[in-house]
Chains A and B, each alone.
Chain A
Amino acid sequence: MAVGSDGRGLRVVGKPVRKVDGLSKCAGVTLFADDIVLPRMLFCKLHRAPVPHARIVRVDISKAARMPGVMAVLTGKDLPIPFGILPVSQDEHALCLDKVRFVGDPVAAVAAVDEDTAFDAMNAIEVEYEPLDAMMSIEEAIRKPSPRIHEYGDEGNIHKKIALEFGDVERGFHDADQVFEDTFYYEGSTHLPMEQHAAVAAVDPDGKLTVWSSTQTPHYVHRALAKVLNMPPARIRVIACPNGGGFGGKSDPFNHEIVVAKLSLLIGRPVKVTLTREEVFYCHRGRHPVLMQIKTGVTRDGAIKAMHFKSYLDGGGYGSYGVASTYYTGALQTVTYPVENYKFDGLRCFTNKPPCGPKRGHGTPQPRFALEVHLDKIAERLGIDPAALRLGHLVPPQSLTANYLRVGSMGLAKCIDAVVEGSGWKQKFRHLPSGKGIGLACSSYICGAGLPIYWNNMPHTGVQLKLDRGGGVAVFCGEIDIGQGSDTVLAQVVAEVLGIDPYDIRIVFGDTDLTPVDLGSYSSRVTLMMGNAAIQAAERARELLATAVSEKLGIPAERVGFGGGQVFDVEGPERALSFADAVVAAEARFGTIGTVGSYTPPPSAARYKGSGVGPSPAYSYSAAVVELDVDPRTGWVRVDRVHLAHDVGRCINPVLVVGQVEGSVYMGLGEALMEEQVFRANRGGVHRQPSLLEYKSPTTMEMPDVVTYIIEDPDPNGPFGAKEVGQGPLLPIAPAVVNAVYDAVGVRIDEVPVTPEKILKALDSPAKRFGPKGVPEVRWPDPIRVPTPWEGGTGRAAADRRPAEARR
């Protein structure tokens, strides 16, 4: 399409179009999963384990089953087939079979005529446990290989161990002028969507099952239901309801979805489950707590000769996305500043806590925090301004990194320039009065994963269009709007190509019966992938219309233009048909007008084992400057202002981009300053604060001003050049806060959240630091050694692996 790199020529894309679902949400008519009420509907409650790690000796459901109004009671035996989001981690059961792995693991389920009865019945279930030793921390899980939480995994309670080396880090450290080493810890946190998960299941008289759910991934729920219920997928329909917030927390197939489906099949009536807030904390799949060690060799001017990054993830009780999360903690260090030689060792432990998984930024905020604080320290030691250090060493656009990630457009320089200029960085950095600080950090994030979660060679997304004689366009896509605005992006992209008003488009989304598969709203994949598929579908429709109109107007098809609801002769726009008439002409010429588009990411350059994580069609970039006050008497931090510049490639809708930036900054600040998903190891492993009062989500009173700068550096792989914005802007917040705290009071807080207590402790300490002391002893496997592109590598592992001893 003829669009300049400045976006000129676009009519809908780039405009602050009102969200197509905005008014419905503001009128309160949008139906979320818990808003669905069906005739004869029953209510389900889950009985959850009160112990963190135990064998189930006996489950007595007799009292519950006898209670009036109770229609059915299920236990693990009724759903014995395991499931899990990753094919390598099929380790969950809808209801625990023989073991429970965290406080809150569901053991039994009831369906009853009302919620009161279901509640009483749930509490009447009696379970006898044989307690097992519980692992409550990374250190403990590494130290104690038994009892094993799972019978699979690399060893003991280590779920996964990874060692990768690109180039030769020892040589790199040798060549470096200076080598720096730091240890960091990033506490776990949870998504805390305002909507508690809910699901409704109903069975048709002919045995077809429908499940409505607040899920970000209806396709994966569909697959899990088919597997666990042992039913043909064709008999199962999953409808994703608009999510009342997701942030990654609704990306796994969940116990409760499977349980209500099973109950509904057994009883023949609709069954609903709505989780309490406490149960949402048990679903979790949030940010992994990660302990990290980073060692970097640099030249005098700050070029990175070698980096060795180690990460230790606290995975919780199940696999979830954890294997991918672990790889992600080592993947994206290379896409911002060139790393000549890179080594990554990563492991994930099983612990007796709710499973961790993908939270906004999936596996990358933790290493990014470590890297950006580490760089801030290096800049100071080298006597280089931290902004200048970064600007001096940026990954070039259209290049390959040491670990074979293909960077396309790369607007980080413009991002840094924007926040440096906008914040008055040069006047402020190291010049503010004591107690006031300014800090900078950068980041990058993927725009969708290059490979699907389960191996297949089908598209990652599909879009279908149906054009109506009245000029309306129905767009079918399996995507689901979780608040990020994907419905609007879809409408804008189709409207742009067809030259119509986005409000003349009806979106049909997230329905496995009606819409083509989209893998789901995760990994910031939707705008890029769905957008490309939508362009393809719309261009195919446009071609049909152009042919019909060209015949009608007697002009060549290339001269047919689309815009403003008209289909016209570009050399004489007065010769035009309305879009509706153009559809009529096309339908007369070709029959019913329906087209499809789909998208598969380009093949990755990385071909080594483990290279499934990291490659993406494009990478977004962000730079943040945080300005804050620290009270040295109390340690209290007050963030005054955040400047954030984000390279979104092409802005499809600026007001939505700004909204994603502000929301990411908010969530980043929550993690940086107060949010913690933590447990009482000495009190039976219970969650420390499973409520909205105790889990500290910042209120209006804590939110600082955010100045957003939208940077557009179109990427050839993005729809109209667009890249992601939903997750990337969260990443630089925590390190920028920590760097600003150092600027304000001269202490290094090498872990988040940065609480006033930690600041006071650091101020009182001789090292002026608060953070982890070191990392546990671990025997890492021999790394998979991959020669870098500049060593003439091909993206594959070297055939001859040198023994580990020789490499030390």
Chain B
Amino acid sequence: MMRLPRFRYHAPATLGEAAAILQGEGSQAMVVAGGTDLYPNMKRRHQTPKTLIGLRKIDALRGVKGSPARGLWIGPATILTDLEESALVREHYPGLYEAIHSISTPILRNMGTIGGNICLDTRCNYYNQNYEWRRAINFCMKCDGDTCWVAPGSDVCLAVSSSDTAPILCAFGARIQLVSKKGTRTIEAKDLYRRDGIDYLTKRSDEILAGITLPPAARWRSSYRKLRRREAFDFPVLGVAACVRFDGEIVAEARLWLGAVSMAPVEAAEAQAALVGRRLTEETIEEAARLAYPLAKPVDNTDFGLRWRKEMTRHFVREALLEVGPPGSPSGRGN
């Protein structure tokens, strides 16, 4: 049996208490909600925190509040299954629903939280291995070693942002609330991420993810398309998140984000711009896909070959936009 390393455990009942413990323990401490990302990592000795702070008892970190008209507040410790079952999410933020529904397996979604997925450790198949395996490659830059084995010349770790919710939250323009002993700050979801496989979050180690706010859903349509080998268990090797706001038939605003092709979600700015002011037709979609796919720069550290993954970006952007569809097309895409 693979066992967890030893640690001290705290289960505070309030956010303030949690922030205080975190501050007090310093970088030796980590917070844990569902544990589906952290515990496997700990069993493989990627992280061996001296102290774990469980967030399960903090009611203020759970739940979905608000309305499509005002926007939603989602507690980061909300279990993924509960979000899947939320009509607010499913009907008004279908792209988010699809992203959540595609995470791992139904059983894992009964345990994992959205905050956990947002903060998901970057992944790399030189990193996500047992301690003994990693010792055989003399470890890697991300943990216990110096070299990035994906690209030994690289001075930055190339581990992949593999969160399904990250690209869609970026596309929705979600805001993230971070709380620490020092106070609270709110940032754009896209500013949470950094293109560095090691230091992949701008969240400080003393900060706790305390809330996710989604803007009003009115007139936004959304979708999320995910590429992976199997329809369960597998992390994305590509995720395409699309949010489009229409003014009549015309695209008023478009947001297109790529997941799992870099160390952070990637915004396809040119493709977005190409859609604005036009109808969503086969032609405009094709153009957006053409503009988006050079941004995907997969490296050889996930399942599938990187060339094929890059090629698929074009196809999946097209699919995601087709799925969003123009207003009035088959519903379930939002408002």
Contact = CB atoms under 8 A, between A and B. Distances in A.
Interface of A: 48, 50-51, 103, 115-116, 119, 123, 274, 276, 278, 633-635, 674, 683-684, 686-694, 696, 698-702, 755-757, 760
Nearest to A635: B308
A764 B271 CA distance: 27
B311 A760 contact: yes
B132 A50 contact: yes
B133 A116 contact: no
A50 B315 contact: no
Contacts of A756: 308
26 contacts: A48-B132, A50-B136, A51-B136, A274-B1, A276-B1, A634-B312, A634-B315, A674-B229, A684-B136, A684-B137, A686-B136, A687-B133, A690-B129, A690-B130, A690-B133, A693-B128, A694-B125, A696-B230, A698-B230, A699-B230, A699-B231, A699-B233, A701-B230, A756-B308, A757-B305, A757-B308
Contacts of A689: 125
Contact of B2 (A123, A276, A692): A276
Given A50-B132, A691-B128, 13 more contacts: A48-B132, A103-B136, A115-B3, A123-B131, A274-B1, A278-B130, A683-B126, A683-B149, A684-B137, A693-B233, A702-B230, A702-B231, A760-B308
Contacts of A686: 133, 136-137
Interface centre among A278, A635, A700, A702 (most CB of B within 10 A): A278
Contacts of B229: 674, 696
Contacts of A755: 304
Interface in B276-307: 303-305, 307
> In the complex, which of the residues B129, B136, B230 has the most CB atoms of chain A within 10 Å of its own CB atom?
B136
B136 A278 contact: no
Nearest to A687: B133
Nearest to B104: A693
A346 B126 CA distance: 36
A278 B132 contact: yes
Nearest to A689: B125
A50 B1 CA distance: 20
Contacts of B307: 757
A412 B23 CA distance: 73
B204 interface: no
Contacts of A702: 230-231
B50 interface: no
B11 to A, nearest CB: 23
4 shortest interchain CB distances as A-B pairs: A701-B231, A50-B136, A757-B308, A699-B232
Contacts of B235: 693
Interface in B252-266: none
A115 B133 CA distance: 19
A635 B235 CA distance: 20
Nearest to A46: B132
Contacts of B146: none
Interface string B137-149: 1000000000001
B65 interface: no
Given A699-B233, A702-B231, A116 B3 contact: yes
B112 to A, nearest CB: 14
A51 B2 CA distance: 22
Interface in B1-52: 1-3, 6
B57 interface: no
A757 B230 contact: no
B138 to A, nearest CB: 8
Interface in B91-134: 125-126, 128-133
A686 B2 CA distance: 20
Contacts of A683: 126, 137, 149
B237 to A, nearest CB: 12
B2, B6, B229 — most chain A CB neighbours (10 Å): B229
A699 B233 CA distance: 9
B125 A276 contact: no
A700 B107 CA distance: 14
Chain A binding surface SS class: loop
Size class of the B contact interface (CB-based, 8 Å) = 20 to 34
B133 A633 contact: no
Interface of B: 1-3, 6, 125-126, 128-133, 135-137, 149, 229-235, 303-305, 307-308, 311-312, 315
B130 to A, nearest CB: 5
Nearest to A674: B229
Contact of A700 (B2, B130, B232): B232
A747 B195 CA distance: 40
Given A688-B125, A699-B230, A115 B1 contact: yes
Contacts of B135: 50
A123 B44 CA distance: 13
A757 B304 contact: yes
A684 B308 CA distance: 26
Contacts of A696: 229-230, 234, 303
A608 B132 CA distance: 47
Nearest to A631: B315
Nearest to A702: B230
A674 B312 CA distance: 18
Given A278-B130, A686-B137, A633 B3 contact: no
Contact of B232 (A119, A687, A701): A701
A50 B137 CA distance: 8
With most chain A CB atoms within 10 A of its CB, the pick from B133, B232, B315 is B133
Contacts of B128: 691, 693-694
Nearest to B132: A48
B231 A693 contact: no
Contacts of A757: 304-305, 307-308
Contacts of B130: 276, 278, 690
Nearest to A123: B131
Nearest to A48: B132
A256 to B, nearest CB: 14
A688 B305 CA distance: 13
A180 B129 CA distance: 45
A683 B149 CA distance: 8
A687 B1 CA distance: 20
A638 B307 CA distance: 21
Nearest to A755: B304
Contacts of A692: 233
A129 to B, nearest CB: 11
A756 B311 CA distance: 12
A369 to B, nearest CB: 21
A744 B172 CA distance: 40
Contacts of B303: 694, 696
Contacts of A684: 136-137
A531 B47 CA distance: 54
B29 to A, nearest CB: 21
A527 B160 CA distance: 50
Contacts of A635: 308
A690 B136 CA distance: 13
Nearest to B135: A50
A336 B136 CA distance: 46
A691 B230 CA distance: 15
A96 B216 CA distance: 65
B315 A633 contact: yes
A365 to B, nearest CB: 21
Contacts of A674: 229-230
B39 to A, nearest CB: 14
Contacts of A103: 136
Contacts of B132: 48, 50, 123, 278
A693 B232 CA distance: 10
B133 A119 contact: no
A667 B17 CA distance: 52
A689 B300 CA distance: 13
A36 to B, nearest CB: 14
B62 to A, nearest CB: 28
A691 B129 contact: yes
Contacts of A274: 1
Among A635, A693, A700, residue most surrounded by chain B Cβ atoms (within 10 Å): A693
Nearest to B5: A116
Nearest to B235: A693
